[in-house]
Amino acid sequence: MKQVSEGVYFIPGQDELIPDSHVYVIGKPDSGDLSVIDAGLMGKGQYKIQSILNFGIDLKDIKRVIMTHTHLDHIGCLEEILGEIPHAELWVHTKEAVPLEEGDEKIVYGMDMFQGMCQAQYGIKPGAFKFKVDRKLEGDETLEIGGITWEVIHVPGHSGGSIALYDRAEKILIPGDVVYSDYAIGRFDLFGASGAQHRESLFSLAELDVDVLLPGHNSIVERVSPGYILETARQWEPYLS
């Protein structure tokens, strides 16, 4: 875990058989208006909460959890985290917020086979991932939160309601599972995924000036080489249709 910049904290996922998503906490410490980005895998809530406390952050200053998307490795411990921070709002892109409120778990598990396996492995009951969403994001919002301005960008493809958060001033991109380090991208074969949309999303992120890439998994990149996302998009383009 580390502080990436003033107002951006990184809590690495603790992968098991299934990956555990990274969590970022964004917002300047004295703003009293911090946000947690993503939650993680089942059972990782206490680890994430303890990590937040270890940064010296007061849980009362956490005002919301914003989900980059609602796959199991990101939302698995959301309930554990909201249990510790019950006043926190939940913000999700509308494409995934609506099924989440209805208790439709197809996006959470991504495929039927995976659903059965995870429910057995972790003892998850059907209907475990039903949440009230306080704010449904559309994309194109500008969020003035925690003393930092974040642009919300809808980047479907990995999942229908994937969003990226972009701090234009500091050139920091939080892309969820859309693009990782080492020219890797998120999978595009799960429920609600689309190779063609993934391609478009990659090329739209490629237009941003990005110095710091903070993805949902794998390494973070603190000195992104110019044109990195464009090069990644080009390498994958033949497979994305």
Which string of x and - marks every residue 161-200 that binds Zn ion (by CB under 5 A)? ----------------x-----------------------
- Is residue 27 a contact residue for Zn ion (CB under 5 A)? no
> Residue 58 corresponds to which tokens in the numbers above?
């007061």
- Which amino acid is it at 178? V
CA of 133: how far to CAs of 46, 102, 130, in Å? 22, 11, 9
Out of 7, 29, 146, 216, point to the residue binding Zn ion (CB under 5 A): 216
CA of 193: how far to CAs of 39, 188, 199, in Å? 21, 5, 11
DSSP lists the bridge partners of residue 8 as 5, 26
CB of 86 to Zn ion, least distance (A): 25
Span interacting with Zn ion, options 42-50, 57-65, 200-208, 215-223, rule CB under 5 A: 215-223
- Which amino acid is it at 214? L
State which residue, 61 or 73, has the beta carbon closest to Zn ion: 73
CA neighbor of 19 nearest in space, from 37, 44, 45: 44
Kindly state the number of chain residues that form the binding site for Zn ion, as judged by CB under 5 A: 5
Out of 20, 38, 61, 73, point to the residue binding Zn ion (CB under 5 A): 73
Residue numbers at the binding site for Zn ion (CB under 5 A): 21, 71, 73, 177, 216
